[in-house]
Structure 1
Amino acid sequence: MPRSAPALPSPAVRLALAALLVLGLAACGGAGRGGRPGADGAGDPYFPRMGNGGYDVTHYGLTLSYDPESRHLSGTAEITARATQDLSAFRLDLKGLGVRSVTVDGAAARTHRDGQELTVRPHDGPAEGDTFRTTVRYAGTPQTITDPDGSKEGWLRTEDGALALGEPNGSMAWFPGNHHPSDKAAYDVTITVPKGLRAVSNGELRSETTRKGRTTFRWHTAPPMASYVAVLAIGRFDISRSTTSGGLPVYSAVDPAQAGASRAVADRVPEIVEWEERVFGPYPFLSTGVIVDRDGDAGYALETQNRPVFPGAPGLDTVVHELAHQWYGDSVTPETWRDMWLNEGFATYAEWMWEEDHGGDSAQDVFDALYSGEYYDSPSDDEALWAFPPAKPSGAAHISDSPVYERGAMVLHKIRETVGDDTFRGILRGWAEEHRHGNADTHDFTAYVERRAPGKDLGPVWKDWLYGEGKPARP
């Protein structure tokens, strides 16, 4: 028996239903605008889950409190960002610490944790081009992170406090963020610690106040900074202040146990910066200095922005190296970790140039010693130098191996041989200026060099020294 067709609603009823549907979609926020989640990871070839897609951070406001005895850190992170797509959700990198609450533009947001990924689902997802502010309240015992190469970073406990270091991904141990070098931002860090301790960070110290047995330090970093060169050093420090001959402020913090051994080198920071300005161009930040903690507090020195960190009294060559990174690595930051040689090759070559300009071996002498195998005491070290080309590290565990440092510097020396000293010096200064406070990759650099040296045959340098496997034949 045939069924009768259902009666259609009247036109007035259909209009009312359509209006309700529109109102419902509007209430869904980002989903109603067709938003989608930001990518899980920034696409780095060696650290695929580092960083995140869908937004660009412009400012971090971190308000922190730390108690060394209990090892408890509590924090509020206000992250200002611009959406690069319509977002229904986005991710932040945060490892270990417990999240108390998350809001986006003042409204509570749903969250989900999956390892280092904190997924945030706002009530109203930002549209492409929107600026939005995410506030994360968190607390706990921050973790030490072991890198693929076995080194330690993140939150390092020290005898009198802590040292927070971030290369390549340790900063996620103490604040949530988009932790990839391609996303740089300004920072304000407010940190409260027990009276008698100091808290030293990047940038300039805006204020220091003590109340009820605790001291609060407020640091401001205006030039864009990658999170891996953010630093926080908590402990007892002797503070020295001076200026370079050009008036650049120098603020250094040295553990009292290292003061005597460090003084001779630390006092030369203005001299080193002035020499590097003559070679590399104007200093890219608003102040400089060093942080010297105790020997063994970290297993390496690090080019933390405008104030490098040293575990114990550093040698002069190490200070030259880390300060050179302020131009190459901190101001001109690699696009991905594959481009690490643009940091380390340049800073290593700065050591060679310093020696050359101060009565030591010439850069050619060092190059020749490396090529002949006389530079290293061990044949295995010489073999390691040729294990892979500088522009193609053989995995995440090897981005800090000698091909990236010494062979990276050899690439620069081959450029110098090809184009001549005057053009080479212009390339060093021009590269730092053209990409000041930005990001660049290896292709950007090779293209830049070829523009600055028209008519010079740089093909063999790229083919054999930068990208070539094994030890190149030397003409």
Structure 2
Amino acid sequence: MLSSATALLSAVLLAAPGAAGAGDPYFPLDGNGGYDAQHYTLDLGYAPATGQLRGVATITAKATQDLSAFDLDLDGLTVRSATVDGRAAGWRRDGNELVITPAAGLRNGRTFTTVVTYDGLPQPIDDPEIGASGFLRTDDGVTVAGEPHAAATWFPVDDHPSDKAAYTFRVTVPNGRSVVANGLFAGKAAHPDGTTTWTWNAADPMASYLATISVGRYDVTSYDRDGIRFTDAVDASLDGPTVKAARTGQRMAYSGAEVPAYKRLTHTVDVPAGGATLSFGAVLETADTGYLMVEAHTVGQDNWTTLPEQSGLTFDYAGELCHDLDTHPFLAHYVSQQPDGTCSPDGTTGHWNGQSSFNYGGEFGDWTIDLKPFAGTKTEVAVTYLTTVPQPDEDSTPRTGVYLDDIKVSTGHSDTSFENDGDTWDGWALPPAPAGSRANPGTWRSLTAARLPMSATGQIAHASFAREPEMLAFMARSFGPYPFDTAGGIVSPALFDFALETQTRPTYNTGFFGWQDIADSTVVHELAHQWYGDNVSIKQWKDTWLNEGFATYAQWLWSEHEGRTSAQGQFDYSYSEIPADDSSWNTPLADPGADGALGGAVYGRGAMALQALRMTVGDSTFFKILKTWTAERSGGNGNSHDFAALASRVTRRDLSGFFTAWVFSAGKPPYPGGSGPNAKVTAGPPRHGLPGLLPTGRTVRY
């Protein structure tokens, strides 16, 4: 017989500190041992003006051994106090470890609650692979996003994906700011001091690096569809116009965004014998088939040409313009189709010069045009916005057009800033489109910034988010039911160079919303992570292909669904274009090294391995494997060996040879079936190079 007193003494003698790491070979001190975190309640106060964070972290955990002490990961910040089960606990800092010593030992299997009070200025992580990440301040708030390290920069945590937990976020910020986080919105409460507390509950198990908050001025949209609560947050500045203010005065000239269009703003100039210059401010947000150009001809003569911008802002590359001669016959003055199929920038009377761009931002760029070619003549000058219908291989993303202000001619005549002063255009004319072109649906307009359309980036982001229900329904057919009860996304103004699959609400930087098809594909990638990476997380960081390869493969499936390159075409192109001596084959897919855990190979090779498996086992069995993986490990973790074993079990085949070649070994595997890619589908990459196809020399971050 063993008395209770003897048993207690024995437990005390056997109690030991939990390990300072989770045992991950890539990041040995990430995570901790001795307990299983079950729930985090984060009561935070954030001051955007100073960046100061105040926090109280309440952590419910279950001991997995007899504990005399245990660690939490915490990077910087100042700890003020710690308690365990309501009793003051000892604590000390050891690098990025916060070592907690409870007043009494904790028995194996006991559930206990730790409360840590802390504050400070969280610092972003400067990662040589992905740049700035972690706690990222913005002009009006903050966004948290980072992988593999981020969580420990803003709260004490068992920071490893093997220990998933539920979260409650209660974040207090100044009035006028919104807070968006993981999970479901649970309400907000205003306080007399001019602050508001926002509460979000993320009830499903979540890896710590997927926890996020975004504080700032956001346009937040919520709705229910197919039993899922969608909440999307877009930086409010994107909902406004690209151009925030006129260059001078209150108004500017705006082209509109119609396609096709040929909109001229013309004036007749007496160019002196010594020449003259035309100058103006311009902001371009044009489609790939939209241009700003300056045309000119001598009055009474058909010697039309386009004139180059003096600092090199225009180009004389004619591209696909010859395909548009039927739409705009007048372009024959500037371009001509050559026998070899190319388009020459020389036409019947003149030469092509134009600019197509959406990289100006909202600031007016200075354009200067030399009128010397028309020295000593009466010259009609046209500042022209031209759009054509995209060809099948051209981007069809709609954009907002061209903005002009402060047109000046060096002779001192013909100046205008488009003000509503009784003579808005100051002698500049708005003629119809040239003969042969379709009538313009509108013309140049004089507008204030308040009347301009939403920025193209904002329109693209909203359009992509509007397709989230469609995307989830599409992926559910291949991956099984969507695993959570809420979904959505955050487009943040923070300066970071990636998108991250923060659970239920992925976080994006604005740069992903430059082209509609790339934006849609990126959203598909992050939503696919909700199955692969979030619901089923990896056990160690060496298995990131189970996250990134699967999400990239979802993009391949979406591309095929959208009528573009098929998954087989993506595979064949990649297999053909990545030679056997390419560095992307240098390490096993399931062990790429710490520096390669988020490198391009785990994306592209990971997707290729999945398509190769599909080619080996057949469509029906392949998708059964994917659905079984998410069903059996829902809310948990897995590794490459687990996935290989499941595939063999589902197929009732020994697939060890396949997984040895494609997952567990370095080197380029043989083409599945041994025949090689079909030449019919290897003509070129998908438009804009969807991720994972060209890993050589390129790191892709999603």
**Normalised by the size of structure 2, how large is the TM-score?**
0.61
1:239 counterpart = 2:220 = yes
Cα shift readout 1:377-410 (whole Å, capped 9, x = no counterpart): xx99x924323221111x2221111221110111
- How far does residue 216 in structure 1 lie from its aligned partner after superposition? 0.8
1:419 counterpart = 2:620 = no
* Cα distance in 2, alignment partners of residues 136 and 426 from structure 1: 45
- How far does residue 208 in structure 1 lie from its aligned partner after superposition? 1.2
Q: Which runs of 5+ in 1 are unaligned?
A: 1-21
Partner of 1:217: 198
- How far does residue 370 in structure 1 lie from its aligned partner after superposition? 0.6
1:310 counterpart = 2:290 = no
1:324 counterpart = 2:324 = no
- How far does residue 311 in structure 1 lie from its aligned partner after superposition? 0.2
Partner of 2:390: none
Cα shift readout 1:233-268 (whole Å, capped 9, x = no counterpart): 111100111222x23111100002233331211111
> Would you say the 8 A contact 1:112–1:118 is kept in 2?
yes
Partner of 2:574: 370
Match of 1:301 among 493, 499, 524: 499
Partner of 1:179: 159
1:159 counterpart = 2:357 = no
> Would you say the 8 A contact 1:149–1:396 is kept in 2?
no
* Cα distance in 2, alignment partners of residues 87 and 241 from structure 1: 44
Match of 1:472 among 655, 669, 690: 669
Cα shift readout 1:241-298 (whole Å, capped 9, x = no counterpart): 1222x2311110000223333121111111111111122111111100110112x522
Partner AA of 1:471 in structure 2: K
- How far does residue 30 in structure 1 lie from its aligned partner after superposition? 9.5
Q: 1:289 aligns to what SS in structure 2?
A: strand
* Cα distance in 2, alignment partners of residues 128 and 144 from structure 1: 36
Structure 2 counterparts to residues 56-455 of structure 1, below 5 A = 56-147=36-127, 149-212=129-192, 213-244=194-225, 246-258=226-238, 259-294=458-493, 297-312=495-510, 313-314=512-513, 315-373=519-577, 383-393=582-592, 395-455=593-653
Partner of 1:16: none
> Would you say the 8 A contact 2:161–2:209 is kept in 1?
yes
Partner AA of 1:80 in structure 2: T
> Would you say the 8 A contact 1:86–1:125 is kept in 2?
yes
> Would you say the 8 A contact 2:83–2:89 is kept in 1?
yes
* Cα distance in 1, alignment partners of residues 187 and 223 from structure 2: 18
Partner AA of 1:387 in structure 2: N
Check 1:31–1:144 CA distance in 2 against 1; reply closer, same or farther (3 A cut). Answer: farther
Cα shift readout 1:168-222 (whole Å, capped 9, x = no counterpart): 1210000101000000011111000010001110000101122221111000011
- How far does residue 232 in structure 1 lie from its aligned partner after superposition? 0.7
- How far does residue 467 in structure 1 lie from its aligned partner after superposition? 1.8
* Cα distance in 1, alignment partners of residues 465 and 32 from structure 2: 38
* Cα distance in 2, alignment partners of residues 473 and 436 from structure 1: 33
Cα shift readout 1:411-431 (whole Å, capped 9, x = no counterpart): 111110111001111111111
Partner of 1:3: none
Q: Which runs of 5+ in 2 are unaligned?
A: 239-457, 514-518, 675-702
Percent identity for Structure 1 against Structure 2: 48
* Cα distance in 1, alignment partners of residues 14 and 605 from structure 2: 49
- How far does residue 148 in structure 1 lie from its aligned partner after superposition? 5.6
* Cα distance in 2, alignment partners of residues 337 and 160 from structure 1: 34
Q: 1:206 aligns to what SS in structure 2?
A: strand
> Would you say the 8 A contact 1:40–1:91 is kept in 2?
yes
* Cα distance in 2, alignment partners of residues 169 and 44 from structure 1: 13
> Would you say the 8 A contact 1:411–1:461 is kept in 2?
no
* Cα distance in 1, alignment partners of residues 146 and 562 from structure 2: 33
Q: 1:409 aligns to what SS in structure 2?
A: helix
* Cα distance in 1, alignment partners of residues 139 and 10 from structure 2: 48
- How far does residue 33 in structure 1 lie from its aligned partner after superposition? 4.2
> Would you say the 8 A contact 2:524–2:555 is kept in 1?
yes
**Normalised by the size of structure 1, how large is the TM-score?**
0.90
Partner of 1:7: none
- How far does residue 147 in structure 1 lie from its aligned partner after superposition? 3.3
* Cα distance in 2, alignment partners of residues 157 and 396 from structure 1: 27
* Cα distance in 1, alignment partners of residues 105 and 459 from structure 2: 55
Q: 1:470 aligns to what SS in structure 2?
A: coil
- How far does residue 31 in structure 1 lie from its aligned partner after superposition? 7.7
Partner of 1:11: none
- How far does residue 355 in structure 1 lie from its aligned partner after superposition? 1.3
RMSD: 1.9
> Would you say the 8 A contact 1:384–1:402 is kept in 2?
no
How many residues are treated as equivalent by the alignment?
A: 442
> Would you say the 8 A contact 2:44–2:170 is kept in 1?
yes
- How far does residue 460 in structure 1 lie from its aligned partner after superposition? 3.3
Partner of 2:656: 459
* Cα distance in 1, alignment partners of residues 12 and 529 from structure 2: 46
* Cα distance in 1, alignment partners of residues 539 and 34 from structure 2: 17
> Would you say the 8 A contact 1:166–1:227 is kept in 2?
no
Partner AA of 1:403 in structure 2: A
* Cα distance in 2, alignment partners of residues 166 and 450 from structure 1: 34
Partner AA of 1:290 in structure 2: G
